[in-house]
Structure 1
Amino acid sequence: MEACVFDLDGVLVDSEPVWEEVRRAFVAEHGGTWRADTQSRLMGMSTGEWSAYLHELGARFPPDEIARRVVDLMAERYRDHLPLMRGAPEAVRRLADHFTLGLASSSPRRLIDVVLESGDLHDCFDATVSTEEVARGKPAPDGYLEAARRLGVEPGACVAVEDSANGLRSADAAGMRVVAVPHPRYPPGPDALALAWRVVDDLDALTPELLGG
């Protein structure tokens, strides 16, 4: 393995509860109806995809306006309190000593930069990709393929670290080995988890030795 490519939401930052709270409130406030499967369907979608989906749920603004307003709310929440996953900074720095690091996230570029700068992790990554910058969001492999391209590493020489079903499918479709760190509140289904090369309980278990470094 030459490189490790991290997901952001649910792996480095415990953002899924914040995303759910912010988007659920936004939909309710602006005339839409949140469905039972909405959160699971949204996980991994690109900005354009999830804003269009919230519009389909009945939120009265056009998708680009929905995206702008929701991202503003998320950035404000992160600045008030950055919900880093336990052990995230240590895991990133530990692996950065042995591997080239990349990041492939469904978050918009603005939020990626807020998280990495606020968490003092920006210098650990040689390449970061938002699915805003590729044609398709997860579970399509586009974001992971672009991260490998920017790193100058073949996808097969990369390990991806993921938590969600769509993320696991995305990294696997890109031809990467995948380490799953399931989120306790939003665990991936058994079919997606079966794609993982390794499954660990938390980021403390993410070591160079586990990845073969």
Structure 2
Amino acid sequence: MEACVFDLDGVLVDSEPVWEEVRREFVAEHGGTWQPDTQSRLMGMSTPEWAAYLHELGVAMPADQIARAVIEEMADRYRLEMPLMPGARETVRRLAAHYTLGLASSSPHALIDVVLDESGLREYFVTTVSTEEVGRGKPAPDGYLEAARRLEIYPKDCVAIEDSSNGLRSAYAAGMRVIAVPHPRYPPAPDALALAWRVLPGLDALTPDLLA
């Protein structure tokens, strides 16, 4: 392994509960109807994809306005309190001493920047990719392939750190070795988890020795 490519939401920052709360409230306040499978479907979608989906749920606003309003609310929440996952800072610093680090996230760059700046982790990542910069969101491999291209490292020589079903599928489709760190509240589907090379109980178990 030459590089580690991290997902952001659910891996480094415990953002899925915040995303769910913000988008659920937004849908309710703007005349839409939240469905039982909405949260699982949203996980991994790019910004244009999830904004269009919220419009389909009945939000009577153009998708670009939906995206802008939700992202602004998310940024405000992050600045008020940054919900980093346990061990996130330590894990990034530990692996950065041995591997090139990249990030491939479904979050827009505006939120990626807030997280990395507020957490003090920006300096450790050689590149960051948002799926808003590529053709398709997760589970398509586009984001991970773009991260590998920018790092100038073959995907097969990268390990991806993921938590969600669509994220695991995306990294696997890109040809990366995948480590799953499932979120206890939003566990991946069994078929997606089966794609993982390793399944870890938390970031503290992610060490250079494991990758070696």
Question: Which letter maps to 1:35?
Answer: Q
Instruction: Give the percent of matched residue pairs that are identical in Structure 1 and Structure 2.
Output: 76
- The answer to whether the aligner puts 1:144 opposite 2:158 as a matched pair is no
Q: 1:28 is matched with which residue?
A: 28
1:188 equivalent in structure 2: 188
Letter of the 1:40 counterpart: S
**Deviation at residue 33 of structure 1 after TM alignment:** 0.1
Query: Structure 1 CA distance, aligned partners of 2:198 and 2:55?
Result: 37
RMSD (Å) for aligned C-alpha atoms:
0.3
C-alpha distance in structure 2 between counterparts of 1:121 and 1:191, whole Å = 32
Task: Give the 3-state SS of the residue equivalent to 1:139 in structure 2.
Answer: coil
In the TM superposition, structure 1's runs of 4+ consecutive aligned residues that sit over 4 Å from their partners are none
Read off the aligned partner of 2:70 and give its amino acid letter: V
Question: Which residue of structure 2 aligns with residue 124 of structure 1?
Answer: 124
Between the aligned partners of 2:69 and 2:98, the Cα distance in structure 1 is: 39
What amino acid is aligned across from residue 176 of structure 1 in structure 2?
M
In the TM superposition, residue 189 of structure 1 has moved relative to its aligned partner by 1.0
SS of the residue 1:79 aligns to: helix
SS at match of 1:186: coil
SS at 1:44 equivalent = coil
Using structure 2 for the length normalisation, give the TM-score.
1.00
Answer yes or no: is 1:92 the counterpart of 2:92: yes
Aligned letter for 1:207? T
- Aligned pairs for 1:38-117 within 5 A: 38-117=38-117
State how far apart, in whole Å, the 1-side matches of 2:81 and 2:59 are.
27
Q: Deviations over 1:56-89 (max 9, x none)?
A: 0001110000000000000000000000000000
Query: Shift in Å at residue 129 of structure 1?
Result: 0.1
Say whether 1:171 aligns with 2:166: no
Q: What is the distance in 2 between the residues matched to 1:203 and 1:172?
A: 20
The size of the alignment, in residue pairs, is: 212
Unaligned runs of 5+ in 1: none
- What TM-score do the two structures reach when normalised by structure 1? 0.99
Amino acid at match of 1:31: G
For structure 2, the residue ranges without an aligned partner over 5 or more in a row are: none
Amino acid in the other structure paired with 2:107: S
2:200 match: 200
Q: CA deviation at 1:35?
A: 0.2
